[in-house]
């Protein structure tokens, strides 16, 4: 951007000024920003001496904030080092993993991780916003607003923001809000005020985010629409001329960038957006690359949060695109945003929550601080001559995959244009697999009830009581609105609202809006969304009720399993007393059932916060941050254990399954295909069985079988695993029986070894591979391919079809081709649709392409499971077309 000629006057004045403590280019840069923000066209409109003084004060304030951040980070690092050395003295590597993503170790703070803090912050931000909408009675209009209404809301948001600018201070007049509909005005007012609250919360944690209307909604872009900008704008690539100075070899990428750039330039506030750059093309290219690669979502600490000011010219900061007005922003968002205004707003809240959780756990420079913690612990171990323990944490490498999950890097795309295409189409391929093969997942999910019971037993309740609670919750089908509001206040986010239930089986993909909607629809139709949401709601309500029942007991009077459980999240006697004694800390639902009221836990007294932190001289801002953190910590317990009771992969499992490999890279895509449908069994192994194994490890540390304490812990672990395996196996036999009945088959012989094996495999989360392991038409190669993943399995089928066709083996070729096609048609596998298809069309097709196949299937059923069809055998009524 060309420099304003008036700035030369300022530069000359600065040369002779008394300002010595700051760099002159910083002052010039900040003056440019101030001019743009105040819509000033030249320096003649302001008092040069005054603005120079204001700018100097801003720079001094930033430097002061940097010093405060550095001090706070140093305090945090030292505190974390001491905690790690005390709690994980025998296993420092697991301690550092616990700090990032949590572990199952039975030691203080093992689950108080960055990942848990982020989930809690995200849930509480959305819960707080939803509560404001509901209290005002405008939640429905927010959720259902059409595009025209959304634009009116956005315009009103900007006008409400303008009322709080310095215009009012200078003139005493408030700019008018032109919207006349009172409900739309109320939605806009709440959205804007809550957006400003989020910005202030981030600034209180060390960021320096400039004031802007709609801060929350401005963080969201659809990377796929941005990457395909020409098509989105109905332009032909061959008609787009790329400037000669544009760097890069991929002409189509550059043409899409050019189309995007030319479109948004007409809507951007150029003076404000480009106040600190003379190279607009390069600025926008960097912004484009960041959006396409999904890098704007990374939580890198206070200095790199979206919107953070950085007056140093050329600094590496997240570029902010400022629009002329809300109407202009909406025009761009309609083309390149993440979806509806609701989805866009929630996406921004999720990003803000991820940043808050990261900063609260690891400070304003999280990656650097984690490395400081690791290095300090390593050096302490070396000085104590504990060389083997020091060697286990001698590098950052083992922790990188977990950091990439919690900071969001794992959701970015690498590999350039080829990588972007690979990531997009690979994700779509996996989505096709989800919607083609998980039609009966809700029936296989019967194992959840055994897992639910085992989690309640872990917390000091009864195994069977937990299972009964799960059963009754499902039988009730849905909770009352009163209880739904309560559980939302705990931070619960329903599957399909901000993320997808497919995460139970596949560790996240970056999907287009279209395929995201298709998956959400599919999991609604196969009932898995209902099942998962209902069980998770009841899990959180059950835990909150259980804790509320203990409110009259001091910490030392709680049963031992509950004491040990609370310690995993650093809940000690002081914190427990605050929870149980806080005014309005308990609440009764419409049926009289009492629960811990998480929504009110940020209203604890200043004295309570000082007791919790052990610090007396906390400022007003610091007190509020600590209150937020306390509330989030309790919410985090409920959220974290809900995905133990109703299994989903947590940050640790995601790190293990992706190994930090990014989408778009060869190995990154390979490991995602390998991991498809493995997230559920991997989560069971790492979280549920791993939780019981932790007792055995603890017992061995206490002397093993040679001591009473060791035997007690080992026995508890063995009993826990045994109960889980037996109960889950039984529940999965019921699930298999239900599947068979839906297919018109008799129940399998429960005394058959193969039946027992199948039940236990499904209980371990491998039910999705039942067809691979137990169908007669699979050969050894197919079994191996199926265990690798559904995509290789389909490739094997297609390869076999071609092989048999070339060998003139028509029956086998037809069978393989039919299998490859029929098992990859989205929605066909829905448990209630599949049986209809088979009896109307499927069996006839099978017999047509491979005569006699139905009779062979029936013989294998009888031989392996002593099982027959309940009604007419398919082979008798289906002779082919």
Residues 489 and 587 in one domain: yes
Listed in sequence order, the DSSP H helices in 147-279 are 147-162, 166-171, 182-204, 223-227, 229-232, 251-265, 270-273
Centroid of chain to Cα 588: 31
Q: What is the pLDDT of residue 152?
A: 95
Q: Is the pLDDT of residue 455 over 90?
A: yes
Q: Is the pLDDT of residue 779 over 50?
A: no
- pLDDT band for 281, please (50, 70, 90 cuts): confident
Q: What is the pLDDT of residue 593?
A: 92
Strand partners for 869 = 745
- pLDDT band for 310, please (50, 70, 90 cuts): low
Average pLDDT of the chain is 84
Sign of CA dihedral 738, 744, 748, 754: negative
In a domain, 791, yes or no: yes
Q: Kindly state the average pLDDT of the residues 826-849.
A: 87
Cα(628)–Cα(634) distance, rounded to whole angstroms? 10
Question: Residue for token digits 């603890």?
Answer: 698
DSSP state of 262: H
In a domain, 571, yes or no: yes
- pLDDT band for 874, please (50, 70, 90 cuts): confident
For residue 843, what are the domain limits?
775-881
Q: What is the pLDDT of residue 775?
A: 41
Determine the angle formed by the axes of helices 620-645 and 182-204, rounding to 10 degrees: 100
* Boundary of a domain, candidates 701, 717, 747: 701
Residues 666 and 792 in one domain: no
Q: What is the pLDDT of residue 160?
A: 92
Structural domains in the chain (count): 2
Query: 116-130, 398-412, 504-518, 729-743: which has the minimum mean pLDDT?
Result: 504-518
Q: What is the pLDDT of residue 46?
A: 47
- Supply 722's token pair: 């045994």
Q: Kindly state the average pLDDT of the residues 26-42.
A: 55
- pLDDT band for 765, please (50, 70, 90 cuts): very low
Residues 692 and 779 in one domain: no
- Supply 349's token pair: 């809240």
- pLDDT band for 748, please (50, 70, 90 cuts): confident
In a domain, 492, yes or no: yes
In a domain, 402, yes or no: no
Q: How many CB atoms lie within 10 A of CB 147?
A: 11
- Supply 12's token pair: 């000359």
Q: Kindly state the average pLDDT of the residues 608-626.
A: 92
CB contact at 8 A, 794 and 820: yes
Q: What is the pLDDT of residue 371?
A: 97
Structure confidence by residue, pLDDT tens digits, 220-266: 788 889 999 999 999 998 888 888 766 566 788 889 999 999 999 99
Q: What is the pLDDT of residue 54?
A: 65
In a domain, 452, yes or no: yes
Higher pLDDT, 666 or 24: 666
Report angle CA 342, 345, 349 to the nearest 5 degrees.
135
Q: Is 212 helix (H, G, I), strand (E, B) or coil?
A: coil
Structure confidence by residue, pLDDT tens digits, 426-445: 999 999 988 988 888 888 88
Sign of CA dihedral 394, 395, 401, 404: positive
Q: What is the pLDDT of residue 776?
A: 35
Cα(124)–Cα(632) distance, rounded to whole angstroms? 7
Q: Kindly state the average pLDDT of the residues 466-487.
A: 88
Q: What is the pLDDT of residue 370?
A: 97
In a domain, 819, yes or no: yes
Q: Is the pLDDT of residue 114 over 80?
A: yes
Centroid of chain to Cα 422: 22
Q: Is the pLDDT of residue 552 over 90?
A: yes
Sign of CA dihedral 161, 162, 167, 173: negative
- pLDDT band for 42, please (50, 70, 90 cuts): very low
Residues 697 and 841 in one domain: no
Residues 457 and 542 in one domain: yes
Q: What is the pLDDT of residue 517?
A: 86
The residue ranges of DSSP E strands in 585-729, in sequence order, are 586-588, 594-596
Determine the angle formed by the axes of helices 528-549 and 620-645, rounding to 10 degrees: 120
Strand partners for 413 = 663
Q: Is the pLDDT of residue 51 over 90?
A: no
Cα(536)–Cα(530) distance, rounded to whole angstroms? 10
From the list 811, 516, 765, the residue with the least C-alpha distance to 646 is: 765
Say what the pTM is: 0.88
Cα(492)–Cα(489) distance, rounded to whole angstroms? 7
* Boundary of a domain, candidates 701, 736, 766: 701
Q: What is the pLDDT of residue 656?
A: 95
- pLDDT band for 154, please (50, 70, 90 cuts): very high
* Boundary of a domain, candidates 701, 735, 766: 701
Cα(33)–Cα(274) distance, rounded to whole angstroms? 9
Q: How many CB atoms lie within 10 A of CB 484?
A: 16
- pLDDT band for 44, please (50, 70, 90 cuts): very low
Q: Is the pLDDT of residue 771 over 70?
A: no
Q: What is the pLDDT of residue 248?
A: 61
Give DSSP secondary structure letters for 85-139: HHHSTT-HHHHHHHHHH----SSTTTT--HHHHHHHHHHHHHHHHHHHHHHHT-H
Centroid of chain to Cα 725: 29
From the list 200, 207, 409, 218, the residue with the least C-alpha distance to 320 is: 218
In a domain, 648, yes or no: yes
- Supply 115's token pair: 């990942």
Query: 97-111, 112-126, 203-217, 543-557: which has the minimum mean pLDDT?
Result: 203-217
Centroid of chain to Cα 707: 43
Cα(406)–Cα(301) distance, rounded to whole angstroms? 12
Give DSSP secondary structure letters for 177-194: -----HHHHHHHHHHHHH
Query: 31-35, 348-352, 383-387, 841-845: which has the minimum mean pLDDT?
Result: 31-35
Cα(247)–Cα(254) distance, rounded to whole angstroms? 8
In a domain, 575, yes or no: yes
Q: What is the pLDDT of residue 304?
A: 81
Q: Is the pLDDT of residue 777 over 50?
A: no
Q: Kindly state the average pLDDT of the residues 630-638.
A: 96
Q: Kindly state the average pLDDT of the residues 533-557.
A: 95
Q: Is the pLDDT of residue 808 over 90?
A: no
DSSP state of 596: E
Higher pLDDT, 402 or 867: 402
């Amino acid at each position: 951007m060309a420099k304003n000629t008036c700035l030369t006057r300022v530069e000359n004045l600065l040369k002779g000024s008394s300002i010595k403590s700051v760099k002159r280019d910083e002052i010039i840069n900040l003056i440019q920003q101030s001019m743009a923000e105040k819509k000033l066209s030249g320096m003649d409109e302001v008092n040069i001496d005054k603005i120079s003084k204001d700018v100097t004060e801003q720079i001094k304030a930033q430097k002061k904030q940097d010093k405060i951040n550095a001090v706070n980070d140093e305090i945090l690092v030292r505190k974390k080092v001491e905690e790690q050395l005390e709690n994980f003295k025998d296993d420092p590597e697991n301690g550092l993993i616990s700090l990032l993503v949590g572990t199952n170790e039975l030691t203080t703070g093992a689950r108080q991780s960055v990942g848990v803090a982020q989930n809690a912050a995200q849930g509480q931000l959305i819960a707080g916003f939803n509560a404001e909408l509901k209290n005002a009675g405008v939640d429905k209009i927010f959720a259902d607003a059409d595009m025209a209404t959304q634009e009116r809301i956005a315009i009103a948001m900007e006008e409400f923001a303008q009322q709080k600018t310095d215009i009012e201070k200078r003139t005493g007049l408030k700019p008018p809000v032109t919207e006349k509909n009172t409900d739309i005005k109320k939605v806009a007012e709440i959205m804007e005020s809550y957006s400003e609250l989020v910005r202030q919360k981030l600034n209180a944690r060390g960021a320096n985010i400039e004031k802007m209307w709609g801060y929350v909604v401005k963080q969201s872009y659809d990377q796929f629409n941005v990457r395909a900008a020409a098509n989105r704008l109905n332009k032909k690539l061959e008609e787009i001329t790329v400037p000669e100075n544009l760097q890069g070899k991929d002409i189509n990428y550059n043409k899409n960038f050019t189309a995007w750039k030319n479109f948004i330039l007409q809507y951007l506030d150029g003076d404000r957006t480009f106040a600190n750059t003379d190279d607009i093309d390069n600025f926008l290219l960097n912004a484009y690359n960041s959006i396409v690669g999904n890098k704007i979502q990374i939580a890198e600490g206070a200095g790199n949060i979206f919107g953070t000011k950085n007056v140093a010219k050329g600094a590496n900061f997240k570029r902010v695109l400022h629009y002329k007005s809300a109407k202009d922003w909406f025009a761009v968002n309609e083309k390149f945003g993440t979806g509806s205004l609701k989805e866009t707003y929630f996406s921004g809240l999720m990003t803000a929550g991820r940043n808050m959780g990261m900063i609260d756990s690891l400070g304003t420079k999280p990656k650097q601080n984690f490395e400081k913690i690791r290095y300090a612990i390593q050096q302490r171990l070396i000085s104590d001559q504990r060389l083997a323990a020091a060697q286990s944490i001698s590098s950052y490498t083992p922790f990188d995959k977990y950091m990439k999950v919690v900071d969001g890097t794992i959701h970015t795309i690498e590999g350039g244009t080829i990588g972007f295409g690979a990531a997009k189409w690979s994700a779509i391929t996996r989505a096709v697999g989800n919607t083609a093969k998980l039609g009966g997942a809700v029936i296989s999910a019967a194992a959840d009830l055994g897992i639910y019971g085992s989690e309640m037993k872990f917390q000091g309740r009864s195994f069977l009581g937990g299972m009964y609670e799960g059963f009754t919750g499902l039988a009730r089908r849905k909770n009352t609105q009163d209880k739904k509001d309560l559980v939302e206040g705990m931070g619960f986010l329903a599957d399909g609202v901000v993320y997808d239930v497919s995460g139970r089986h596949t560790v996240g993909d970056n999907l287009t809006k279209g395929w995201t909607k298709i998956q959400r629809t599919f999991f609604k139709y196969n009932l898995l969304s209902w099942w998962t949401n209902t069980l998770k709601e009841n899990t959180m309500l059950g835990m909150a009720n259980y804790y509320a029942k203990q409110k009259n007991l001091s910490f030392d009077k709680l049963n031992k399993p509950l004491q040990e459980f609370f310690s995993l999240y650093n809940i000690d006697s002081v914190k427990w007393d605050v929870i149980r004694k806080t005014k309005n800390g308990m609440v009764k639902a419409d049926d009289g059932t009492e629960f811990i009221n998480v929504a009110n836990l940020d209203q604890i007294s200043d004295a309570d916060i000082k007791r919790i932190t052990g610090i007396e001289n906390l400022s007003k801002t610091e007190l509020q941050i600590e209150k937020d953190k306390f509330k989030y910590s309790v919410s985090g317990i409920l959220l974290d254990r809900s995905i133990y009771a109703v299994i989903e992969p947590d940050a640790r499992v995601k790190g293990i399954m992706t190994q930090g490999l990014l989408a778009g890279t060869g190995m990154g895509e390979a490991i995602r295909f390998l991991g498809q449908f493995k997230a559920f069994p991997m989560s069971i192994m790492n979280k549920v069985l791993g939780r019981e194994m932790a007792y055995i490890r603890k017992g061995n540390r206490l002397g093993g079988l040679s001591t009473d304490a060791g035997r007690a812990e080992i026995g508890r672990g063995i009993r826990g695993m045994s109960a889980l395996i037996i109960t889950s196996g039984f529940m999965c036999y019921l699930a298999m029986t239900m599947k068979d009945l839906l297919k018109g088959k008799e129940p399998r012989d429960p005394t058959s070894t193969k039946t027992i094996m199948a039940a236990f495999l499904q209980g371990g989360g491998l039910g999705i591979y039942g067809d691979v392991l137990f169908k007669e038409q699979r050969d050894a190669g197919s079994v191996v391919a199926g265990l690798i993943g559904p995509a290789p399995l389909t490739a094997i089928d297609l390869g076999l079809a071609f092989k048999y066709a070339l060998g003139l083996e028509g029956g086998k070729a037809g069978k393989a081709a039919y299998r490859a096609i029929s098992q990859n048609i989205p929605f066909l596998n829905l448990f209630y649709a599949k049986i209809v298809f088979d009896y109307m069309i499927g069996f006839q097709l099978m017999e047509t392409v491979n005569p006699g196949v139905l009779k062979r299937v029936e013989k294998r059923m009888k031989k392996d499971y002593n099982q027959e069809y309940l009604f007419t055998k398919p082979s008798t009524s289906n002779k082919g077309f």
